[in-house]
Amino acid sequence: MRTYFKTDLKKNTGKNWFIADFGLDPDGNEYILTTDNVHASEVGAVSGDAKKDAELCAQLLNLYHNGKIDLEDAT
């Protein structure tokens, strides 16, 4: 299974395609969602647009926090 997206630190912005910023965590690091070695020609196929990506993140978070999906099930 190919990994199209990953969690990264904001200080690494620019190494991949930036998707979203989730802010600071208690560990003092700022976390972002980014692509994982996705070529520019592939971005449109794996990322709809800003609204669709935000809606997907919201749907996944709602499913997770309502016990409908488990991170271990998804990997």
More confident residue, 5 or 72: 5
pLDDT band for position 72 (50/70/90)? confident
Q: What is the pLDDT of residues 10-25, one digit of tens each?
A: 999 999 989 999 999 9
pLDDT band for position 44 (50/70/90)? confident
pTM for the complete prediction? Answer: 0.78
Query: CA-CA distance, 57 to 55, in Å (whole number)?
Result: 5
Rounded to an integer, the average pLDDT of 36-49 is 86
Question: What's the per-residue H, E or C state across the chain?
Answer: CCCCEEEEEHHHCCCCCEEEEEEECCCCCEEEEEECCCCHHHHHHHCCCHHHHHHHHHHHHHHHHCCCCCHHHHC
What is the number of domains present in the chain? Answer: 1
Q: Domain of residue 28: give its range.
A: 5-74
